[in-house]
Amino acid sequence: MGDEIDRAQAATEVYQEAALLAHKRRTPPARIVPLNGGARDCLDCGKPIPAARLKALPNAIRCIECQNKKERMGTSLE
């Protein structure tokens, strides 16, 4: 019985890890690296992120509009 619980727990951990990895892969590394001296496109709508926003938030991956939308949906885990 104890073994079964251990095995179930191990399977859950493997699943969580895979889910996490899959989630991370949805953000291709190339998209979060500054291109052309800082110019970057919004991950959601593809429009260029304003330079002022990138200056304030160098790691921003979305334009203000999309970021606000995402935060309103309560899924701003990234």
Where b means 16+ CB within 10 Å and e means fewer, 21-32 reads eeeeeeeeeeee
Q: Which is nearer to Zn ion, 17 or 28 (CB)?
A: 28
State the nearest-atom distance from the C-beta of 63 to Zn ion, in Å: 4
Q: Which is nearer to Zn ion, 47 or 55 (CB)?
A: 47
For residues 13 to 52, the per-residue mask of contacts with Zn ion, x marking binding by CB under 5 A and - elsewhere, is -----------------------------x-xx-------
Residue type, 2: G
- Residue 75 to residue 41: CA distance in whole angstroms: 20
* Measured distance between the N- and C-terminal CA atoms of the chain, rounded to whole angstroms: 39
Question: Judged by CB under 5 A, does residue 60 bind Zn ion?
Answer: no
**Which residues would be at the binding site for Zn ion (CB under 5 A)?**
42, 44-45, 63, 66
